Amino acid sequence: MKWVSKLLLLAVFCSANVIYAQKSKENLKFGQIKPSDFDPTFYSVDSSAGAVYLFNNGKSSYVGNNDGFFSVVYEQHTRIRFMNKNGFGVATVNIPVYISDDYQTKLISLEASTFNLENGQVVETKLDKSALYTEVNHDETIYKFTFPNVKEGSIAEFQIKLNLPSYYFMPDWDFQQSYPVLYSSYEVNVPYFFNYAIIKKGIQDYVLDTATDVREQYYIRDKRNGATLGGNTLAVSTQATKHIWAMKNVPAFHAQPFMTSADNYVSGIEFQLSEIRMPEEDVEKVAQSWNKVSEQLLNNPYFGLELKYDNTWLKDDIQTATANATNNLEKVQGIFAFVRNNYNCIDHSSRLLSQPLKKVVQTRKGNVADINMVLTAMLKQVGLEAYPVILSTRHHEKVLRDYPVMHKFNYVITRVVVDDVNYYLDASRKYVGFNQLPEYCYNGFAREINDKDPILLRFDADSLKEYEMDMVQLKPDLANHTLNLSVNKTFGNIESQNARGIIMSTSLDAYMKAMQNQYNIPVQLTDVHADNLKELDDPLKLQFTAALNLNDDKDIIYLNPMLSDRILENPFTAQQRIYPIEMPYCPNQTYIFEMEVPDGYMVDELPKSARVQLNANEGSFEYIIVNKNNHIQMRCRLLMNKANFSPEDYATLRDFYAFIVQKESEQIVLKKNKTLPKP
Amino acid sequence: MELKYLWILLIFTTYNALKAQSLNCNDIPDSLKEDADAVVRFDNTVVTIQNLNKVIIRHEYAITVLNENGNDYAEYYKSYDPMNVLNEATGVLYDAAGKKLRSVKKKEMTDEPYNDYISLTNDTRIKSFNFYYRTYPYTVVYTDEITQTNTFQLPYWKPILGTNCSVMQSRFQVAYPNSKPIQYKILKASIIQFDSSDNSNTKTYTWQLSGYKSSPYEPLQPNRFERNPYVFIGATHFQLQNYKGSMDSWNNYGKFINELNSNRNQLPEVIQQQVHQIVDSLSTRQQKIIALYQFMQKNTRYINITLGIGGWQPYDCAYVANNKYGDCKALSNYMVALLNEAGIKAYYVLINATDNHFPFFHDFPNAYFNHATVCVPNVNGADTLWLECTDATMPAGYVSDFTDDRDALMITDTGGVIVHTPIYSINQNQESRMVQATLNEKGDLIAQVHARYEAQPSDAFHELLNFYTPEKIQEYYNRSFSLPTYTVSHIQLKEEKKVIPVVNESFDIQINGYASVTGKRLFIKPNIFDRWQQKLEPDENRTNNIVINKNFVQSDTIYIAVPSEYEVESLPQPIQLNTQFGSYNIAFSFNHHTIQVIRKQVSIKQELPANTYGDLVNYYNTISNADVNQMVLVKKAN
């Protein structure tokens, strides 16, 4: 390792040992539990919590290692109070550690005990070593135990120390947990050689947020063969930064509806190595600029390396896929459909390839990166401008606008340019059409990876419009005592994808049966005709008819013109909201209804027409109904111009939907025309 | 020597059988493809009992997937553990013409710990594999071999893999030495062929199913053991590590469990003292049982650790007392010891918990239990009490639907005895509700709701009370009703922890726009809460019996005061149905500006023949329509 010699050099200059005593404010030693710790019968942060973290403190520090460089030691000390049986779930602790051939996380120590107050005395029950279980998975090992002798009121704590063998990984920290936390701190010590970007998440305030310059000494040995140090220990004294962050009285985190990944909101802190600053060397920017990251990704065999090659071996598939194409756009459409229809995606969360492209092509299966990289490679191979685009899906975290924090990305799509028009393609989903993306891709920023200028892209739910159109006609048939219904339904892209999925995995018949049950009156949907069921690029259309019972033996007929597709319940059930509201898309739904009033009847009452706006122009709902010469026409439209709302908008949004639900429940009243003789 | 020879011969013959079979998809009879997503081409299981500590289970099967919905059948999934060693596993993929495309070996398969989501740890691992091939039809062939090092629980045969899956041929063969007899149980024997052969030292049984046409899922169908053929086998005299036992009778099986559990019931002295402190001051036996059950509940929690023989044998009482946790076996064993210390005779019981459970065969003792519990038999006319030890909140004697109404094996000092768990009758499973509401002109409704739930209908509320914080309860109420826009307040839940538990519920609710308004009219569905949701589709080809799985009575009385200027324009007709499935009554009236609804539904737990399905469809659909009948009120003309 070239850095070792540089460190040697440094050691000569920094021979003086400066020792700083470290003292933490929360210097609570393992096992120091007093009888008075058992006094509280509840904690004000949440008086009904089943368990409370009395404290949860972590520390990550660089140390010199035996391989001639640095590694990180991670320590955690967690003390829990069990208030009642509902909190006993936290008594079982899982410690997952990453293990691979070249990355062996080591558990250096683990201590765990339960403390109970018995006759005024604190009695400790230690975790028996035989009750620490190890579960080996393919890339991680999970250490598992459950605290012994746990009762309501018990205090339990564990302390672990892990050795993380590399210099480039700093563990993240969550201050917020699924139970309330009275105090949580995280201390991070980084020598001058490394610089980290620090990313804070969540809405809770810090009580401590400090960075102090200290002088630290690191002891580096190199026990490997042919080591530069020849078996000697190198003492490196250098400036280091000691960060401490802490939070107090952090409430438990509960996920809420209309929330993308909870990871966006749990209070925590994350790290990304940005620079390595070795003495006498230029600063190495690890991941600062997107240009650099892009370059690395394009040279990475698990990402874009194969895009550089002339992949002539793809030519047979390309030929099959573009056999009928007469221009570039048709070629792209052909290749996209070929990949989508012939490949199977077995993992929809990956930013990296799982295998070489040849293997993907051979087995016709892979993760989303594999499949869309094959797509990109095929498009490039026919001479088109095509690039991989990385993003993060809605159930994953959001990515940062500018800073390349790679683990936040979990998805790859393709951008292709044909005649100066951009197309965004995802061939990993069976029912997603050309230039469409699944709704979960609409999660904010994305980045195109290219060798010139990696472009910042944005896929926002605010921009995803879901058009939907229902045209409903009712014609009386007095001879048969029926109202004949005919419906023309056009789905939006998202709903088309969902409906196709259901129809393909069950049947159109089963799908219609389910739809039939959504009607507000008993109906039998017949003469069903589906358009574009297999033409995935176009919206799905359904046409069908039904004969409704006219009930013309009655003097009065009541009928809700919203025969189906009503919003029956307010989706915003809670009264309050502290987190933003993130809806998946902006609905643009139109329902058009026409009806001839049966002979012998007249309109007694119609719902009132109405129109409401949501916050000026963020959305609108209109319900227009008129009767002209016994011909009723109604148009109901819900239009949202935004999908993301701040918590302050919650009450307005809830009221807006309350209005819609109520309006859509209104009914038409027809009365037998007494002036005419009965037929 | 003799045995070994037989073994080689068996491999040889099955191997040839595989070679001889064509995997061309055209060879599947059309009748088996109809309504099928997948077809089992052949499925051969050969169980060779070499001795009581060594059983070889060889399994080879081929499945053709016909369409996208059949893909799950093409996945390989095999669990193994230290007592069931997986010797080999291979898979081969074939195209529609039966041409081999590729193969996979055991080491290429995914290997991961089995996660049952309840165990802290277990020693079961899973080998799994999926070709993810998607050009239909295609065929997969998997082969594996397990060496089982006990004869306590032998494998069973399940030729029908699931719904929409046909079977060309499936075979189950068991060879055993004459000196180590086996016993068996066949379900749906009429469609299974049976054969046996003898040679000097061994006996071979073969069961076979051929040309079985797939069956679709039907609502309210009986569980799989009633619908499908199965063959269960057991070694009449078996061995589990160093323990030996007999399954020739349930009684002897119980004796074996006694041996397995022996010397595990010694309570630590401090616990013995606690037991006496608790019970010595109590006068009745019932009080003592309840007090000790509550002591167990308060001082333990359920933690499952399944390692080796720990899957069968309970951890001892000292372990439970020291750690304050255990699995069902350990906690039940501990509970029995606590009661015994107080001089109350109680027994460890083996049972199959949950709904879709393994059947209990009176004539076929076997080891297929998944749970242990405790029974305190009646003395002098007092009721028998069942104590579920894995639940820290249940009242003593109540078992809910976890273990209700089924046979179980009680392990007495003299061996196993068959017992039956409590049945919750329509007199016990009661739910009654009173709603007093006021409706205003805008259609907003304010109501006070009082309800009483007894036995199983109270379970959901028991859970809310015992596992939810007040905040979470509030959240639950505000999202769980199918109502337009509403807010619930003043929620009160009170539980009476008794053998037949009771929860009293009350809350206030404001529902905005509950009634819709058009001009001078108000439209309202006066039955606000209990609405039957289960609509059924008519099915003239219904083949399975119908299972109604709960007894219950639901009674509702609803009063809704409406503004005085309104009168009734349309009132729904009353409905009264008395059927073999149960009964249903609903009646609407309007007096003194008040709507009144009286509703009662009775459901009877039973199994009915398939030909009653049409009546059931009518019954359920009539109820679900009647429950949402609307009433129209109109403002009086001045």
CB atoms near residue A354 (< 10 Å): 16
* DSSP H or E run through B632: strand B631-635
- Chain B: nearest CA to A78, how far in angstroms? 20
Output the pLDDT for position A287.
62
pLDDT of B360 above 60: yes
Tell me the CATH number for domain B430-635. 2.60.120.1130
Q: Where are the domains of chain A?
A: 2-34+49-285, 290-459, 465-672
- Chain B: nearest CA to A275, how far in angstroms? 37
Tell me the CATH number for domain B2-244. 2.60.40.3140
- Chain A: nearest CA to B484, how far in angstroms? 4
> Which member of A151, A574, A661 has the closest CB to residue B484?
A661
CATH topology of domain A465-672: Jelly Rolls (2.60.120)
Phi and psi, residue A508, nearest 5°: -60, -35
Cβ contact, residue pair B523, A665, below 8 Å: yes
Distance CA A353, CA A372 (A): 10
Q: For the stretch B149-173, what's the b/e string if a residue is b when 16 or more beta carbons lie within 10 angstroms of its beta carbon?
A: ebbbbbbbbbbbbbbbbbbbbbbbb
Which residues of chain A are within 8 Å of residue B38 when distances are taken between CB atoms? none
Cβ contact, residue pair B632, A558, below 8 Å: yes
Output the pLDDT for position A17.
34
Domain with CATH 2.60.40.3140 in chain B: 2-244
Closest CA to A508 of A542, A537, A483: A542
The mean pLDDT value for B209-230 works out to 94
Q: Where are the beta strands (DSSP E) in B108-201?
A: 110-113, 119-122, 125-129, 138-148, 165-177, 182-187, 193-198
* DSSP H or E run through A607: none
Cβ contact, residue pair A662, B485, below 8 Å: yes
Closest CA to B304 of A499, A448, A146: A146
The mean pLDDT value for B185-205 works out to 94
Interval B319-337: pLDDT, tens? 999 999 999 999 999 999 9
| CATH 3.30.565.10 is right for the domain spanning A290-459 | no
> Which member of B69, B482, B537 has the closest CB to residue A569?
B482
- Chain B: nearest CA to A143, how far in angstroms? 10
Which residues of chain A are within 8 Å of residue B112 when distances are taken between CB atoms? 137-138
> Which member of B298, B516, B569 has the closest CB to residue A666?
B516
Cα A160–Cα A161–Cα A164 angle in degrees, nearest 5: 135
- Best residue of B117, B118, B120 to probe chain A, by most A CBs closer than 10 Å: B120
Q: How far is CA A166 from CA A65, A217, A305, in A?
A: 9, 18, 25
> Which member of A146, A344, A513 has the closest CB to residue B134?
A344
Which residues of chain A are within 8 Å of residue B392 when distances are taken between CB atoms? 85
Closest CA to A179 of A328, A21, A268, A53: A53
Domain with CATH 2.60.120.1130 in chain B: 430-635
What pLDDT band is residue B121 in, cutting at 50, 70 and 90? confident
Any idea of the CA torsion for B342, B347, B349, B355, to the nearest 10 degrees? -60
Output the pLDDT for position A292.
85
Cβ contact, residue pair B484, A570, below 8 Å: yes
Cα B589–Cα B590–Cα B592 angle in degrees, nearest 5: 140
Cβ contact, residue pair A605, B570, below 8 Å: no
> Which member of B298, B323, B469 has the closest CB to residue A148?
B323
What pLDDT band is residue B8 in, cutting at 50, 70 and 90? very low
Interval A350-373: pLDDT, tens? 999 999 999 999 989 999 999 999
* DSSP H or E run through A329: helix A328-342
- Best residue of B127, B516, B629 to probe chain A, by most A CBs closer than 10 Å: B516
Determine what percent of chain A is predicted with pLDDT higher than 90: 77
| Class of residue A562 by CB neighbours under 10 A (exposed 0-12, middle 13-18, buried 19+) | buried
Structure tokens at B447: 């109501």
Cα B200–Cα B202–Cα B204 angle in degrees, nearest 5: 125
Cβ contact, residue pair B518, A365, below 8 Å: no
Output the pLDDT for position A13.
39
Which residues of chain A are within 8 Å of residue B463 when distances are taken between CB atoms? none
Question: Residues 6 or more apart from A155 whose CB is under 8 A from it?
Answer: A33, A37, A38, A54, A79, A80, A81, A82, A114, A115, A116
Which residues of chain B are within 8 Å of residue A513 when distances are taken between CB atoms? 537
- Best residue of B115, B121, B445 to probe chain A, by most A CBs closer than 10 Å: B121
pTM of the full structure: 0.90
- Chain A: nearest CA to B478, how far in angstroms? 6
Cβ contact, residue pair B467, A364, below 8 Å: no
Output the pLDDT for position A676.
53
> Which member of A88, A342, A517 has the closest CB to residue B301?
A88
Output the pLDDT for position A6.
52
What pLDDT band is residue B115 in, cutting at 50, 70 and 90? confident
Nearest-CA residue of chain A relative to B478? A573
Which residues of chain B are within 8 Å of residue A668 when distances are taken between CB atoms? 518
Cβ contact, residue pair B323, A131, below 8 Å: yes
Distance CA A664, CA A360 (A): 51
- Chain B: nearest CA to A505, how far in angstroms? 6
The mean pLDDT value for B212-229 works out to 93
Which residues of chain A are within 8 Å of residue B483 when distances are taken between CB atoms? 569
> Which member of A85, A138, A342 has the closest CB to residue B112?
A138
CATH topology of domain B249-420: C8orf32 fold (3.10.620)
Least confident of A5-14, B73-82, B210-219: A5-14
Domain with CATH 3.10.620.30 in chain B: 249-420
Which three-class secondary structure string do you get for A465-533? EEEEEEEEEEEEEHHHCEEEEEEEEECCHHHHHHHHHHHHHCCHHHHHHHHHCCCCCCCCCEEEEEECC
Output the pLDDT for position A230.
63
Which residues of chain A are within 8 Å of residue B518 when distances are taken between CB atoms? 605-608, 666-669
Distance CA A270, CA A579 (A): 20
Cβ contact, residue pair B521, A605, below 8 Å: yes
Structure tokens at A201: 């998440």
The mean pLDDT value for B579-583 works out to 97
Which residues of chain A are within 8 Å of residue B308 when distances are taken between CB atoms? none
Tell me the CATH number for domain A2-34+49-285. 2.60.40.3140
**DSSP assignment of A520-582:** SS----EEEEEESSS-TTS--EEEEEEEEE--TTSSEEEE-S--S----S-S--SS--SS-EE
> Which member of B322, B485, B625 has the closest CB to residue A570?
B485
> Which member of B133, B469, B537 has the closest CB to residue A513?
B537
Task: Evaluate whether A671 touches A597 at the Cβ level (below 8 Å).
Answer: no
Nearest-CA residue of chain B relative to A609? B518
Cβ contact, residue pair A136, B113, below 8 Å: yes
Task: Evaluate whether B195 touches B30 at the Cβ level (below 8 Å).
Answer: no
Structure tokens at A248: 């107090």
Cβ contact, residue pair A364, B133, below 8 Å: yes
Distance CA A526, CA A472 (A): 14
Cβ contact, residue pair B516, A662, below 8 Å: yes
* DSSP H or E run through A368: helix A368-381
Cβ contact, residue pair B130, A513, below 8 Å: no
The mean pLDDT value for B593-617 works out to 97
Q: Which residues of chain A have pLDDT under 50?
A: 1-2, 8-26, 678-679
Which residues of chain B are within 8 Å of residue A606 when distances are taken between CB atoms? 518-519
Task: Evaluate whether A638 touches A618 at the Cβ level (below 8 Å).
Answer: no
- Chain A: nearest CA to B510, how far in angstroms? 12
The mean pLDDT value for B84-90 works out to 96
ipTM: 0.88
Structure tokens at A93: 């602790």
Cβ contact, residue pair A151, B324, below 8 Å: yes
pLDDT of B416 above 70: yes
Interval B456-466: pLDDT, tens? 999 999 999 99
Cβ contact, residue pair A146, B303, below 8 Å: yes
Alpha-helical regions (H) of B21-79: 30-33
- Best residue of A145, A669, A670 to probe chain B, by most B CBs closer than 10 Å: A669
Which residues of chain B are within 8 Å of residue A125 when distances are taken between CB atoms? 322
